[in-house]
Amino acid sequence: MDEKIINRDWELSERINALARHYLLEGNTVEEAMQKVLHSEEYRDWIAIPRCFSIDPEQKRYYQDIEADITWKKYTARIDHYIHSYFTGSSSTKPIELGEYDQIFMGLGMQITPEQLGYEIAELSRMVGVNKPLNYGHLLCLYNGTLLSDLEEEQLDSLVSRKEEVVQFVDDVYARYRMK
């Protein structure tokens, strides 16, 4: 396949994706965003000629996936805010159990709120002595045994050098928030 054709289709698919994301961020429903995209010049360009891959903007699921990504990013940004507040010391009191529990950690058998996650991640970050705090995904990886990704070298070195303490910390957090 010609690289120019792939790049052309990729760029147009990215414009359609950005348009759908824009409409959803404006507060449009999935159905409204879909209708606006399907009436856009970008979509008319997309269907005008055969493409080397499919993106399915005619499907509701396409917009639901984008909407889920927007929701996820807002959620993790909220946790990142808590992490930063506790890590820098602008918030210092341990959070009380208030609000909804994190659904992914509930699946791991824990009842922990986003603010409590922020507190615990900041505590772990301080314990291992990193300059930049760890994030939600890093803690999740320590529980589900997946590869720790997007770690900076300093963060990885700190975690590895304090491996036993990290394991104990993870066990202690689980014990504190374990579903009863």
Residues 129/158, Cβ–Cβ less than 8 Å? yes
C-alpha distances out from residue 128 to 23, 48, 133, 145, 154, Å: 42, 56, 10, 19, 10
DSSP sequence for 121-179: HHHHHHHHT-SS---HHHHHHHHHT----S--HHHHHHHHHTHHHHHHHHHHHHHHHB-
C-alpha distances out from residue 178 to 23, 84, 134, Å: 40, 25, 22
Q: C-alpha angle 73/76/80, rounded to 5°?
A: 130
pTM: 0.80
Q: What is the pLDDT of residues 31-56, one digit of tens each?
A: 999 999 999 999 999 999 999 999 99
Q: What is the pLDDT of residues 78-110, one digit of tens each?
A: 999 999 999 998 877 788 777 799 999 999 999
* Calpha distance 130→128 (Å, rounded): 6
Q: C-alpha angle 53/58/64, rounded to 5°?
A: 100
* Calpha distance 40→38 (Å, rounded): 6
Confidence of residue 145 (pLDDT cuts 50, 70, 90): confident
Q: How far apart are the first and last CA of the chain?
A: 57
Mean of the per-residue pLDDT values of the chain: 93
Residue 143's pLDDT is what? 86
Average pLDDT of 110-123? 95
